[in-house]
Every structure is written in C-alpha cells, then in structure tokens.
Amino acid sequence: MTQPSIKHALSVTRESDFAAWYQEVIAEAEMAEESGVRGCMVIKPWGYGIWERIQQIMDGRIKEAGVQNCYFPLFIPLSYFAKEAEHVEGFAKEMAVVTHHRLVSDGKGGLVPDPEARLEEPLVVRPTSETVIGAAMARWIQSWRDLPLLTNQWANVVRWEMRTRMFLRTSEFLWQEGHTAHADRSDAMAETLRALEMYRSFSEDVLAMPVIAGEKPENERFPGAVATYSIEAMMQDGKALQAGTSHYLGTAFAEAAGIRYQDREGQQTLCHTTSWGVSTRMIGGVIMTHGDDDGLRVPPAIAPHQIVILPMLREDDGDAALLAYCETLRAELAQQSALGERVRVLLDKRPGKATQKRWGWVKKGVPLILEIGGRDAAGEQVSALRRDRLWRADGKVNFVGQSRGDFVAGAADALEDVQRSLHAEATARRDAQIERGVSTLDGLADYFAEGNRYPGWVELGWSRPTGAALEAVVAKLKALKLTIRNTPMDAPAPGGTCPFTGEPAVETIYVARSY
C-alpha cells in the first residue's frame, strides 16, 4: 500500500471503507450532491461536464451508425404502458404516476391536488420509452421501404428505486435510449449487437474502462425482451457493474403497439425491434474504476479540462508578467490536438495560492496540472504533475520540470499516455481478479468468503439451464449473494461439467457480486 508519510487528499481510503470512499470522491470532486428529493441528485458542473463529454462522443458514434435523434414525451398514457404484459410486470413496482393537473389550497396554508382536477387517464413518468416510441413507430412505418427505422433520444427517466446510490442507481437518471425497428430477426439482432459493440469500444477507448460484452442469462433479461446483452465492468472492490445494455425485443413490442409493414409480397408483417442504452451510471463506473485515495482520476477523453495551469501568484508586480507567460502557454496548448480533438486547457486565475488550488484539481482528477512560478516564466520552463503519477517514492508530490517548448510539443502524447495508462492499469487489475480455477459450488463459496472487498469474478463453464432448472441455480447463487453477469461474446466452448447441474458445460459465464 501507500507510504505512511503520504498525506492523501481524501480522508477515507478505498481499503478502509470503499462505500464511504466512493461518496467522498463525489463530494470532494464536486461532481454531485443531495437534492432533498428522495433518490435524486444535483449533478454539479464537474460531474455534468464529464456527462457532456460522454454525450458528445457517444452521440457522434450513434449518428455515425445512421441513427437519428428524436425526442418523445416524459409522460406516457397508462394505456400505452399496459399493452406489453411482461414489460408492465417488470416496471409496475417502480412507477411515478401523475393523477392530477391542478393544486388547491388545503385551507391550512398548504396545497393539495384538486379532487376536481383528477386526470381521466393517469400518466406515468417514463421509466423507459419502448411504449411511446412504439406507438410512434406504428404511425411512421408502412412499407418495407421505411425499414430499418433507427432512432435515439437523450432523456431523463424515473424509476422509483428502493435503494439509491449516487450515479449508480438514482430514481431519476440521464441516459440515451436507442430504439430501432427492422424487417426481420437477423437485421434486428445485427443492430442489437452493433450497439453492444459500440458500447464495448466506447467503454474501453473513451472511458478507459475494460468491460466484458456478453449475453445476460434468461433471468436477467429486460422485461419483454427476447435477448439482453450487457457490458460488465469490474470495480476496484471486485464487484461487477452493468455499464450498458442492448436488447433484441423480437416482435413482442411490435405486436403490442401495432408496428407492421407491408413486405415486398404485399403482406402485413410485424417488425422486429431493439432498444439499447447507457446512462449516468457510467460516471459511477469511471469513479470506481479510476479513482484513488486522492480522489477521481478522469480519463483525458472525457475530462472537461485536460490540463489546468496554476500561476503561483504573489500579489505583487511580478504577477502581470507571470500571467502573460501562463496565457501564452495556455494558447500554445490549446492549439494542440490529442485523442482526435483540440486540447482542453484551463488557466485558473482565481485568487489563492497555487499549492492550495492544486488539491482541488487533484481531487477532480484533471490529467495534467501545471504550477508555474516566476522562475519558470523567466526560464521558459514549466512544472508538470501527472494525476496518474501523483506521488514519488519519497512521498513528495511528483512535479517534473521541463522546458515550455518540450512540454507543449509533448502534451498530446502525455494525455494519450494517461489515457492508455489508466486503461492498462484497470485491465491488469481486472484480469488479476478473474478466477478460473473454481469448478464447484463449494469452491465458489470459498472464493467469495466474507469480507468488505470481494476478490473478483469467477469464470466458469455451465450447462445453460433454463426455466425451473435455471431458477434453482439462481437461488443457489443468491444464497452466496452472487449473480451471473453474462456469457462473453467470443468465448471458446468450455470443457468439463457444470458446477450447478453436473451436466456437460456448454458455455462460459462470469459469476460475481454486483452493484
């Protein structure tokens, strides 16, 4: 572990209390705060800035795939929602419902819903938009020429969760939801898998968060889906986080909403639909993948500021020259390109000592921090700190001095190296925590023996039971607080026997504790 001489920026370490550490990162990095509304959070500029970066890059990739953005209503008529039975069953327990459209005084200084203003048909606040979008698709699609219909929306959704955690599970959250309609199963399945691959590569390349893409077991499917796929990331405490999902919905939603097209033979045919989404939960994944005992570390690709310049102001006559030097440096850096975009650099001119302001940026996780003093300005130098290499072995903050020209010329490489390093570090940790030597139920229990930190995931072969046989397996795992995460897409067929059924193993799964 860390040297005892290091005075970390946070008061709680990951080792001592991972849940408390997670909350401290969010508070100290000023990402989000409580709102006073149960399960809902205020996303502050630094947290929202990260979300905007995710949105911008993801939106570009969605559009590259030929998907068009739309916007559908927040409110869904109850009758729409009621049409698909499994869907209803899945979400009914967590719906916010609008029943009135006016308030009146209660005579005691308060307000109550006006009994005279009850809605004839209640509206539900969308927990997801399959039903409203399905209704629109039914209007928009007539002929095979209208297919495929590829839509996406960026929106908020509400699910009345029993237990919430900032970013990971909030009652209201922000996401994108793609909804597509296709002529047949193979086209819809191709789209489902395209979205999954989009999420996998986004997670790896942009979030620097290694994930395993695969199919969810039957018991974990989206309500109403024929097949559900996910990307699963391993957090630093060894638990799994489902960071994105993609569903092949078959014709169930098409049937419920009447999404039909006239095929080339003139027959009315049901469409095959898909839906897929990622949410603000990804930010929670970034925190628990890259955070350390000094706060967040933001991958440069999604950092609102990639480089922050802190002038060491002395409130004397030298400040003007120092600021001019820093402004030159800022302008030079802003001309550079890294990770395919212009470098985002902030000159932090707020009053206060650079040494003091530094820790705020360290906790926010800015990839590169520059502290520039009068001597640097005079000698055309910079002092640079890489957030992912914060400490020297002697416990001192790891500033590296170099010429301004060298730093500017190397800035893009440095940012790209931070991006790579974060990914490499997370991948190495993840790989070291995947256990492949467990082949029995007892072995699973031993591997996941009690403790605050979980050892990781177990990869094993199983017989892919269904129905009641699967339920029996799920119950056994539940007793160990374990879940089946997914079946990886490109896994070779495993050998041996299934630890749950004793039958020959036919596919690989990951078993883990999860968020």
Partner RNA sequence: CGGGGAGUGGCGCAGCCCGGUAGCGCGUCUGCUUUGGGAGCAGAGGGUCGCAGGUUCGAAUCCUGUCUCCCCGACCA
Q: How many residues does the chain have?
A: 515
Residue from 13, 23, 153, 433 touching RNA (CB under 7 A): that is 23
| CB of 188 or CB of 338, closer to RNA | 188
Contacts of 439 (CB under 8 A, 6+ apart): 460, 496, 497, 499
CA neighbor of 137 nearest in space, from 257, 270, 266? 257
User: Binding residue for RNA (CB under 7 A) from 440, 478, 493, 496?
Assistant: 478
- Does position 476 interact with RNA (CB under 7 A)? The reply is no
Site for RNA, residues 386 to 405, rule: CB under 7 A:
396-397, 399, 401
Contacts of 322 (CB under 8 A, 6+ apart): 311, 312, 313, 372, 373, 374, 377
User: Beta strands 68-69 and 149-158: pairing type?
Assistant: parallel
Given 222, 261, 407, 448, the residue binding RNA (CB under 7 A): 222
Does residue 285 contact residue 207 with C-beta atoms inside 8 Å?
yes
Contact map string, positions 182 to 211, toward RNA, x by CB under 7 A: ------------------------------
Among 196, 312, 333, 458, binds RNA (CB under 7 A): 312
Q: Is 376 in the site for RNA (CB under 7 A)?
A: yes
Nearest distance, CB of residue 220 and RNA, angstroms? 6
**Restricting to residues 33-72, which ones interact with RNA according to CB under 7 A?**
34, 36-40
CB within 8 A of 275, min separation 6: which ones?
128, 130, 177, 178, 179, 180, 222, 246, 247, 249
Per-residue HEC secondary structure of 8-47 comes to CCCCCCCCCCHHHHHHHHHHHCCCEEECCCCCCEEECHHH
Instruction: Give me the least distance between CB of 72 and RNA, in Å please.
Output: 16
Contact region with RNA (CB under 7 A), list: 223-231, 252-260, 324-332, 485-493: 223-231
Residue 6 interacts with RNA (CB under 7 A)? yes
Burial environment of residue 1 by CB neighbours within 10 A (0 to 12, 13 to 18, 19 or more):
exposed
How far apart (Å, rounded) are the C-alpha atoms in residues 254 and 88?
Answer: 15
109-128: burial string, b at 16+ Cβ within 10 Å, e else:
eeeeeeeeeeeeebbbbbbb
Q: Which of residues 115 and 351 has its CB atom nearest to RNA in the complex? A: 351
310 in Cβ contact with 371 (< 8 Å): yes
Q: How far is the CB of 376 from RNA (least distance, A)?
A: 4
Residue 145 interacting with RNA (CB under 7 A): no
Binding segment for RNA (CB under 7 A), chosen from 4-12, 110-118, 179-187, 493-501, is: 4-12
Contact region with RNA (CB under 7 A), list: 147-155, 307-315, 323-331, 424-432? 307-315
The one segment of 367-375, 429-437, 494-502, 503-511 that binds RNA by CB under 7 A: 367-375
Residues 317-346 that bind RNA (CB under 7 A): none
Give the nearest distance from C-beta 228 to RNA in angstroms: 5
User: What is the helix (H) or strand (E) element at residue 105, kind and residue range?
Assistant: strand 103-105
| Sole window of 309-317, 330-338, 433-441, 454-462 interacting with RNA (rule: CB under 7 A) | 309-317
Can you tell me which of 44, 61, 169, 349 binds RNA, judged by CB under 7 A?
169
Closest approach of RNA to the CB of residue 455, in Å = 16
For residue 378, give the amino acid letter: A
Minimum CB–partner distance for residue 127 and RNA (Å): 7
CB burial string 488-506: b at 16+ within 10 A, e below: beeeeebeebbbbbeeebe
d(CA 177, CA 154): 7
Residue with Cβ nearer RNA (173 or 202) = 173
Closest residue by Cα to residue 430 from 294, 240, 217, 171: 240
Torsion region of 183: left, alpha or beta (phi above 0 gives left; psi -120 to 50 gives alpha): alpha
Q: Which range touches RNA (CB under 7 A), out of 72-80, 167-175, 254-262, 341-349?
A: 167-175
Label residues 445-455 b or e (16+ Cβ within 10 Å = b).
eebbeeeeebb
Contact 390, 366 (CB under 8 A): no
Q: Is 273 in the site for RNA (CB under 7 A)?
A: no
CA distance linking residue 102 with residue 486, whole number of Å: 47
Question: CA triplet 435, 440, 443: central angle to 5 degrees?
Answer: 55
96 is an interface residue for RNA by CB under 7 A? no
Residue with smaller CB distance to RNA, 159 or 272:
159
Site for RNA in 395-454 (CB under 7 A): 396-397, 399, 401
Which of 44, 61, 100, 165 touches RNA (CB under 7 A)?
165
What are the residues binding RNA (CB under 7 A)? 6-9, 19-20, 23, 27, 34, 36-40, 90, 93, 127-128, 157, 159, 161-166, 169, 173, 175, 216, 220-223, 228, 230, 242, 245, 277, 279, 281, 312, 314-316, 351-356, 358-359, 371-377, 383, 396-397, 399, 401, 478, 481, 483, 514
